[in-house]
Amino acid sequence: MTTQWNKDDLFYVCSMIEFVARETHNKVKDVVGKMTDEDLVHQLRTAGVNHCLSFEQVCDEWIEEYQITEGNFDNITTCKYSVPTVTSIGRVYQTLILNVMGLYANVVEAIKTVYNSFISDEISDFNSNVFYSNPDYIKCSYEVGELLD
């Protein structure tokens, strides 16, 4: 599956996934799970236009289009420290996906695999230090399938 995209498009899509997950109280992998490969390609293609719209508007469109229901995951109120911004987490995912792209056939496969891996839960635990760890540490942990000591 070939699609035209750039790293800014990927950053936007990763940030939107985080935003939608927070708004609907879902895990990010659940949001990604509602999207087909074609949906992700479409979002990468339209990121250059959608970034001009508010996150709230695009979020509402995603909820309706992908039938994302309200979940019960809440990593915000349980956070003991400053909650990272949506775009900070979007950047973590963008960086990881770009760093592991060579392992996958295309960007959509990379997105789906990263978001469905153990590292997704680790990044979403805002009481841990994973989301602000060195990108190489996150990449190496992802590649071995567990957090490194």
- The letter for the amino acid at 4 is Q
Residue with tokens 């659940």: 30
User: Domain-by-domain residue ranges, the chain?
Assistant: 7-143
Q: What is the pLDDT of residue 2?
A: 57
What average pLDDT does range 75-91 have in this prediction? 96
Token pair of 7 as six digits = 């790293």
| pLDDT level of residue 60 (50, 70, 90 thresholds) | very high
Question: Distance (Å, rounded) from C-alpha 39 to C-alpha 34?
Answer: 9
Say how far apart CA 49 and CA 43 lie, in whole Å. 10
Q: Is the pLDDT at 77 greater than 60, yes or no?
A: yes
The predicted-structure confidence for 12-53, as pLDDT tens digits, reads as follows 999 999 999 999 999 999 999 999 999 999 999 999 999 999
State the first-to-last Cα distance of the chain, in angstroms, to the nearest integer.
36
Closest to 28 measured CA to CA, from 106, 86, 107:
86
DSSP 6-25: -HHHHHHHHHHHHHHHHHHT
- 37-41 — which CB contacts under 8 Å span 24+ positions? 37/1, 37/108, 37/112, 39/65, 39/66, 40/13, 40/108, 40/111, 40/112, 41/1, 41/3, 41/108
